[in-house]
Structure 1
Amino acid sequence: MPRPRTDSSAAPSGARPAASRSTKSAPDTAAPTNAATLDRLRSRIGALSTTTLKRLENDLPWYRSLRPDERAALGLVAQKGIASFVTWYERPASPAWVMNDVFGTAPTELTRSISLQRALQLIRVVVEAVEDQVPDLAGGNDEAALREAVLRYSREVAFAAADVYARAAETRGAWDTRLEALVVDAILRGESSDALRSRIAAVGWKSTGRITVMVGSSPGEPSPTFVAEVRRAGSRFADDTLVGIQGDRLILVLGGISDQGPAFLRLSELFGPGPVVYGPESVSLVDASLSAQAAFAGLTAARAWPAAPRPVAANDLWPERVMSGDEAARRDLYKHIYVPLLNAGNGLVETLSSYLALGHSLEATARELFVHANTVRYRLRRVSDVTGWDPLLPREAFVLQTALVVGRLVGSRATQDRPPTRQ
């Protein structure tokens, strides 16, 4: 004869919390235990486990395609779940133990190969297999109570499974964030090794070109989700994005940007106050340290150009970087501006030098060089074609003038270092 139920109406209102929120180990009176049903459950654990494993093979195609070790781990979880149900049915208690009792034997790697959706499908099959046996396991008067107990227990197992996967996701997220920070740090330091390449592969980077580094200040008090928001914004414009925060600086490593103008403008809004600088493109993530070094050098020198746009290219800050002692900027000015002007000939260097020295006056330059003003105009257009910098624009004329100074210094140094000619 079933044990009589406790009349819950006699208890004060709010005296007993809901079963799923209970923190005590006292029996839950909403799931009465019948001694005969409990004995039958204990004697049928093996048969229920066998039936359940067969149902998993038949009902879940993905289960059959698993590796033997994965199938064995899931089968062990299913068997453990049935055995734990018997224990729970005897003494319904807080669901806190369910996670350790049911999922404690499952390897951590299982959450990587089995999605939460599939885990819930497995729980559903197990519950259906046990529920089908309810008429044979319970007496006539206890069938409804046992079926209710199965459903309540399946709910607790489902919540426990969700908790397991949530914790695994948090652990993976923390590790991925740390690994991402290590990759960003290695790029900034110019590290090039097999370890860096393996880390790059581990963070899922796929871009093979068009790598750019953006740097600027980080917000004063970033929210806990700030990095995720930056990464999500970066994914709208770039194929790959790495985010790093080092002190008060925010670093973005972007790969595969197709339209840089709108992308850099939008991403610059995520930075804190002050200049935002992006470096030149690199051909690979391993070589992105050059872009990062240029961007950081530009960030240091940007204060010398108060009217600089935001964001600004590191190469647009060549003059300021040279004055702050950046050797890379000095080499770039010599290589990309002065040398091409020398090689182009046709008096481009002389014309540009006179034009800049005479206050950007075409007529004065023409008189100085004994040529027509149209010839000066033509040569200045050639300067723009050869270098990409227009001497008619004040800012770009400043870049060209700095390149002339750098080129003369390099040429003078080369002459001084040349050994004397033997007579």
Structure 2
Amino acid sequence: MTDTAPAHDPSPLLSKQPPGGSETLARLKSHQGVLYTAALKHLEQSLPWYRALNPDERAALGLVAQKGIASFVGWYERPTSPQWVLNDVFGAAPTELTRSISLQRALQLIRTIVEVVENRVPELAAESEQIQLREAVLRYSREVAFAAADVYARAAESRGAWDSRLEALVVDAVLRGEDTDSLRSRFAAVGWKSQSGIHVMAGRAPDVASAHFVAELRRAALRYAHDCLVGIQGERLIVMLGGIRENGAAGFSRLAELFGDGPVVYGPRADSLRATTDSAQAAFAGLASADAWTQAPRPAAADDLWPERVINGDPLARRALVEHIYRPLEKAGNGLVQTLTSYLALGHSLEGTARQLFVHANTVRYRLKRVCELTGWDPLIPREAFVLQTALVVGRLEDSPPL
């Protein structure tokens, strides 16, 4: 018999298949149970992964095999009937199937069942009808293979859409600062494993932020981190990175290239899920203030934008300047605050500061070096001196008595 239907549309082949002989059909009907039992036994013997499944998973696959054999018998009896194999064979267990085994294993399952039926063709059909029965089995197995691929494609689309929604919910929960238990539950739902080394990047989303773009961004991020979540909120793009590797700094620069135009800011390292909210808030506060620093790098660290964030009314930056710069200098004593104040006020002049404080210039140098060691900010660098000066202003306002 000659196939005239196109390869992409196998359904016409079914309608052109001639009806089976009555004797062969009767044997098929009477041997359904035998075929089913033989198929399960063959699965146990030939597929090691099938033996490793739990009873519920094997039962789901057994149901698929049973329906496949029964559907084939019905089709062989009435090949012109409009049967839709997807519903006939997989309708009862598509979810269980896709959770239990991969598409490759599903096709192995189909191939094994086909082998069982083919091996029993001599028992099921007279010699004159055996070729016809073998052709019918092969054509029907192709239909089932198409149906299996369709099941997995639909499941993948559904799973991808659900994962994207779940990912967006996790990002939103972090930004809103949900309680730790709730955050832990949401992170677990998306397969997040990192408990430390978490950073949040924020910037403008590209004009066309398609699913392909998100997949590309995630692939790039996973080169530098163990976990990654991507969220798009209007024009904003948020990327959460967990378990940053040693080349994390290079990762920030690489990922910034995938953002849209404008500044990109990453928050400070968070070593707990709860602290992730602070990293996210710092990143967004930095993003809102980044335009004030025209020489800001891309991406910029949110902590490097402390002065601009304070001026823009960010309480996190104000507290950070006091806790990380002003208090350590005040506690260290030895005239560090006074020396730094004079140095900044006198236009970064070592000699002028030494004359005002009645000390040697080397003493000024030593004290400024101690400032850098205690705070991590070097007063000899103009930008970092601006950060230190802002910290002095904020710290003094913090200590000023209420009026």
- Alignment TM class, shorter chain as reference: over 0.9
**CA shift for structure 1 position 341:** 0.8
Once the two structures are superposed, residues 228-266 of structure 1 have per-residue CA deviations (whole angstroms, 9 ceiling, x without a partner) of: 111111110001001100000110111111233201111
Q: Given that residues 268 and 303 in structure 2 are in contact (C-alpha distance below 8 angstroms), is that contact kept between their aligned partners in structure 1?
A: yes
Aligned match for 1:169, one of 153, 156, 163: 156
Query: Which segment drifts farther, 55-64 or 292-301?
Result: 55-64
Q: Given that residues 43 and 112 in structure 2 are in contact (C-alpha distance below 8 angstroms), is that contact kept between their aligned partners in structure 1?
A: yes
**Pairing 1:283–2:271 present:** yes
* Aligned-partner residue type, residue 18 of structure 1: P
Aligned match for 1:57, one of 36, 44, 51: 44
Once the two structures are superposed, residues 84-124 of structure 1 have per-residue CA deviations (whole angstroms, 9 ceiling, x without a partner) of: 11122233359971110011122523321222222222111
* Cα root mean square deviation, aligned: 2.0
Aligned to 2:165: 178
TM-score (norm 1): 0.90
Aligned to 2:249: 261
**Where does 1:205-220 land on structure 2 (aligned, <5 Å)?**
205-220=192-207
After superposition, the Cα gap between the structure-2 partners of 1:93 and 1:20, relative to the gap in structure 1 and judged at 3 Å, is farther
Q: Secondary structure at the match of 1:375?
A: helix
Once the two structures are superposed, residues 213-236 of structure 1 have per-residue CA deviations (whole angstroms, 9 ceiling, x without a partner) of: 000000011233111111111110
After superposition, the Cα gap between the structure-2 partners of 1:360 and 1:101, relative to the gap in structure 1 and judged at 3 Å, is same
Aligned match for 1:404, one of 379, 392, 396: 392
**Pairing 1:114–2:104 present:** no
**CA shift for structure 1 position 23:** 5.7
Q: Secondary structure at the match of 2:362?
A: helix
Query: Which segment drifts farther, 378-387 or 269-278?
Result: 378-387
**Where does 1:62-77 land on structure 2 (aligned, <5 Å)?**
62-77=49-64
Once the two structures are superposed, residues 134-181 of structure 1 have per-residue CA deviations (whole angstroms, 9 ceiling, x without a partner) of: 122222222222111111111111121111112112111111111111
Aligned match for 1:82, one of 69, 81, 89: 69
Q: Secondary structure at the match of 2:16?
A: coil
* Aligned-partner residue type, residue 100 of structure 2: S
**Where does 1:1-400 land on structure 2 (aligned, <5 Å)?**
17-18=5-6, 21=9, 27-29=15-17, 33-92=20-79, 97-106=84-93, 108-258=95-245, 259-400=247-388
The alignment of Structure 1 onto Structure 2 pairs a total of residues equal to 402
Structure 2 CA distance for aligned equivalents of residues 260 and 18 of structure 1: 52
Query: Which segment drifts farther, 41-50 or 395-404?
Result: 41-50
Q: Which one has the largest radius of gyration?
A: 1
Aligned to 1:12: none
Aligned to 1:13: none
Query: Which segment drifts farther, 108-117 or 295-304?
Result: 108-117
* Aligned-partner residue type, residue 72 of structure 1: A
Q: Given that residues 10 and 143 in structure 2 are in contact (C-alpha distance below 8 angstroms), is that contact kept between their aligned partners in structure 1?
A: no
Aligned match for 2:402, one of 395, 412, 416: 416
Q: Given that residues 167 and 231 in structure 2 are in contact (C-alpha distance below 8 angstroms), is that contact kept between their aligned partners in structure 1?
A: yes
Q: Given that residues 216 and 276 in structure 1 are in contact (C-alpha distance below 8 angstroms), is that contact kept between their aligned partners in structure 2?
A: yes
Q: Given that residues 322 and 330 in structure 1 are in contact (C-alpha distance below 8 angstroms), is that contact kept between their aligned partners in structure 2?
A: yes
Instruction: Give the % identical residues.
Output: 68
After superposition, the Cα gap between the structure-2 partners of 1:156 and 1:20, relative to the gap in structure 1 and judged at 3 Å, is farther
Query: Which segment drifts farther, 242-251 or 367-376?
Result: 367-376
**CA shift for structure 1 position 289:** 0.2
After superposition, the Cα gap between the structure-2 partners of 1:266 and 1:136, relative to the gap in structure 1 and judged at 3 Å, is same
* Aligned-partner residue type, residue 155 of structure 2: A
Q: Secondary structure at the match of 1:33?
A: coil
Query: Which segment drifts farther, 102-111 or 349-358?
Result: 102-111
Q: Secondary structure at the match of 2:56?
A: helix
TM-score (norm 2): 0.94
Structure 2: any 5+ residue segments left out of the alignment? none
Structure 2 CA distance for aligned equivalents of residues 88 and 212 of structure 1: 58
Q: Given that residues 266 and 302 in structure 2 are in contact (C-alpha distance below 8 angstroms), is that contact kept between their aligned partners in structure 1?
A: yes
Query: Which segment drifts farther, 202-211 or 90-99?
Result: 90-99
